[in-house]
Structure formats: structure tokens, C-alpha cells
Amino acid sequence: MTVYSFMMTGIRGNRPLDPEFKAEYMFDSFLTVEGNDDPIISVPTFPDVFFCPFLPKGSTVDKFVNQWDYPHFAIHLPNTFCELVIDDSRWGDPEFMPDYASHNEREKWDTVKTVASSLIIALRLCHYNRFINSMVLVGSTLNNLHLAPDKSIKLYPFHPISHPMCPFMEDISRSKITFTNDDFKQVIATHLKLYKLMHTADFEPVTIALGEYYNDSHPRTKMVIIWSGIECLVKPPSVGIRKALKTRISMILGKDREDKTRIFKKVAKLYDTRCHATHGKAFAKIDYSKKPTEVNIQDETIEHLGAMMDSYEILEELLWKMIHNERMYDNEELELMQEEFISEFPDLFPKQEK
């Protein structure tokens, strides 16, 4: 059986144009839960899965199978203060996953990756979102890497040489640096439901969007991928995509008549901006040669970035609905929602769109 270490790397510090490291940057990746005196935080949904704080110990230069792995690994170390450890030694127990022991290496890795991905998404949905999973060690924990035999550890890089961002960083309500016990209970409940959903439905466009949003890719790329994730959840037909998105999202998220109308109009505007990003029109132009504090962003760019953030919030809200329901909506349900909305709000549709 195998030990995996998913490195949790903070998104601030040790990057170009921002050389100063502040003590609070540690908590971008150093997960804590109030009232928990044990620095190791167990995840009860799976055996031997836990978060563990990390501080460098000893030399790790010669530990990797590939001699070029260490430089990719080392670039993330200064901002890595926690690891998510998964030890699958007991996963083949009869009362847990009796078939796991008979799986091949690729099947086991897919299961481990799904467990980790769903847990990381659960953290981000619950607003612990100032970190990335920079890479995965296979064969050792990060804390014990210096004790591993030379040339024994595999490295799977997730974000080699990237400098991610989190637009929610300045919004305290959307970006936390510690959890209450209730917060962490919500993470665990969300994790199990999301894990089951990811095994019963095709969530790939959604998981890609949830991950790409935190990467250092261009906002145009993020906008397109976010809407791909939204379309995965609301399943618009190939004809009448715009109308299906507006009506179905409004019915799923709207609380009352006024709220549904507001969401309908908001989605219409956001989808127009998405089309600008998709079809080659000007979108979120930024001069990356200047520091973020300099005046290098036009008003139109700020509007586009706001649309990207609003789109991501819609994706999160849709996913929360389906996590709560513990299933995705099927095509028949979504078609009925669309018909109901059109019937309830006929004045919102020009004759040619009905």
C-alpha cells in the first residue's frame, strides 16, 4: 500500500514583484481548527486521511526518482506549511472498500485523487481558499521525506512554476484563515456528499473550472472554463443555449419572483461577457509588466474581472444546490424548470425568443 502527500502551498509570498514574506502568509496553507489542540487534523470520512503542519527537515535533494523533480518541488517549499496525507493501507478492509486491494496502480491513484480533490474543493467551497495543491509526493509524507531512501519518491506536479491568485482574498466573509469546529464539520459533510457525486456523475468540467479559477491563467481562460462548468450543471440544449441558461439558473437559485427576475437579468449580462471572452473580443486587458498596485487596469477590465467573479459565484451556488440534493438535476427536470419560468415570466421574452 502507498502513502500520498498532497502539498498545500499558500498563494502569497515568494513570487515575482512581491518579494516580501509576511508571517500571516503561513496561514494561507497552515490549516487550523479552533479548539483543536492536536496539530494533526483527521478527516473522518476515510481511514488514515489527515492534515498535518509541515516544517522542512534535513536534505531532500536526492529523494526523487527523477533527478529533475527536485527543482520543481523546491520552488513551492517556502510557501508550503501543511500537507494532506492519504495512507491507503487500510482501504482494502472488507468493511470499507473490499475491492480496493485488487485494483491496479492507476485505479488506486484515481480513487486517491478523487478523495483528495473532493476534499480540497470542499475546503474552497467553505472559503478556505488561499492555497493550491502544488504537487503530490508518492511514497512518503512531506514531513518524512528526508528519511526516505534516495531515488524512491515519485512527484506529480499540479502547478509547476505558477503564481496563482484568489480574487476573494480581501473579502473576509469569502476567504478564511481558520475554521471553527462547525466550519470543519461542514467541510467533512460536504466532502462525503461531493465524493459520492463525483463517482456517480460527470463532474469533470466543474472540477476543472473550480481548480482553474485559482490558477494564474488569464481571466479570459477562466471565464470560458467557468461557463463550461455552469453548462455542465444546467445542461442547456445545443439550440437556445442562452435562454436555457437564463431560465434554468434562475429557477434553481431564485428564492422568489423578484429574485428570479434579478438572476435572469444578471445571467444574461454575464453570458454576454462570457461570449466576449470566448469569441475574441477585448477582455480583461492587464499590463503584467507592472506591479498590481500600479495603475494598470482600465474600468472595462475591472468590469470584466467582476463578471468573472460573479460567474464563479454562480457556479459555486449551483454546485451547493446539487451537493445539498446529493444528485444532479436530470434533463427532464431542467426542461420543466425552463418551461415553468417562461410561463411565469412571459414579459421577459421577446416574441421571437419564446
Residue 17 and residue 89 share a domain: yes
Most confident range, picked from 19-28, 136-145, 200-209: 136-145
In this prediction, residue 168 carries a pLDDT of 63
- At residue 178, does pLDDT exceed 50? yes
Q: How far apart are the first and last CA of the chain?
A: 58
Q: Cα torsion at 285, 291, 292, 296 (round to 10°)?
A: -40
Which range among 89-103, 164-178, 215-229, 242-256 shows the weakest confidence by mean pLDDT?
164-178
Residue 119 and residue 168 share a domain: yes
Cβ neighbourhood burial of 169 (10 Å; 0-12, 13-18, 19+):
middle
**Residues forming beta bridges with residue 188, ordered by sequence position:** none
In this prediction, residue 172 carries a pLDDT of 67
Residue 217 and residue 191 share a domain: no
Which residues constitute the domain of residue 149? 3-200
Residue 291 and residue 241 share a domain: yes
In this prediction, residue 200 carries a pLDDT of 86
The average pLDDT across 73-98 equals 91
Q: Is residue 273 part of a domain?
A: yes
In this prediction, residue 203 carries a pLDDT of 84
pLDDT digits (tens, 9 = 90+) for 104-114: 988 898 899 99
In this prediction, residue 78 carries a pLDDT of 86
In this prediction, residue 296 carries a pLDDT of 54
- At residue 4, does pLDDT exceed 80? yes
At residue 248, what is the residue type? Answer: R
Domain boundary among 200, 231, 250: 200
Residue 232 and residue 308 share a domain: yes
**Residues forming beta bridges with residue 42, ordered by sequence position:** 50
The average pLDDT across 130-146 equals 94
Q: How many domains does the chain have?
A: 2
- At residue 161, does pLDDT exceed 50? no
Residue 174 and residue 257 share a domain: no
Handedness of CA 270, 271, 274, 275 (dihedral sign): negative
Distance (Å, whole) CA 55 – CA 143: 7
Q: Is residue 310 part of a domain?
A: yes
Residue 146 and residue 13 share a domain: yes
Nearest to 235 by CA among 244, 247, 226: 244
Q: What angle do CA 262, 267, 273 make, to 5 degrees?
A: 135
pLDDT digits (tens, 9 = 90+) for 200-223: 888 889 999 988 888 778 888 999
Residue 104 and residue 31 share a domain: yes
Q: State the DSSP string of 275-300.
A: HHHHTT-----B-TTS-TTSS-B-HH
Residue 233 and residue 180 share a domain: no
Crossing angle between the packed helical segments 299-325 and 105-125, to the nearest 10 degrees: 110
Residue 272 and residue 228 share a domain: yes
pTM here is: 0.78
Identify which has the larger pLDDT, 225 or 175.
225
Going by the DSSP 8-state scheme, the letter that residue 330 receives in this structure is P
pLDDT digits (tens, 9 = 90+) for 34-70: 988 899 999 999 999 999 999 888 899 999 999 889 9
Identify which has the larger pLDDT, 14 or 343.
343
Residue 240 and residue 154 share a domain: no
Q: Is residue 77 part of a domain?
A: yes
In this prediction, residue 160 carries a pLDDT of 46
- At residue 143, does pLDDT exceed 60? yes
Q: Cα torsion at 12, 126, 73, 15 (round to 10°)?
A: -10
Percent of the chain with pLDDT over 70: 89
- At residue 342, does pLDDT exceed 90? yes
Domain boundary among 170, 200, 230: 200
The average pLDDT across 226-239 equals 95
- At residue 232, does pLDDT exceed 50? yes
- DSSP-derived pairing of the beta strands 154-157 and 49-53: unpaired
Q: Are 291 and 278 in contact (CB under 8 A)?
A: no
List Cβ<8 Å contacts ≥24 apart for 115-120: 115/46, 115/49, 115/86, 115/195, 116/4, 116/6, 116/84, 116/86, 117/198, 117/207, 118/191, 118/194, 118/195, 118/198, 119/43, 119/49, 119/84, 119/187, 119/191, 119/195, 120/6, 120/84
Distance (Å, whole) CA 246 – CA 230: 11
Residue 53 and residue 190 share a domain: yes
Q: Is residue 207 part of a domain?
A: no
Q: Are 317 and 248 in contact (CB under 8 A)?
A: no
The average pLDDT across 114-123 equals 94
Q: Are 110 and 86 in contact (CB under 8 A)?
A: no
- At residue 118, does pLDDT exceed 90? yes
Q: Are 307 and 220 in contact (CB under 8 A)?
A: no
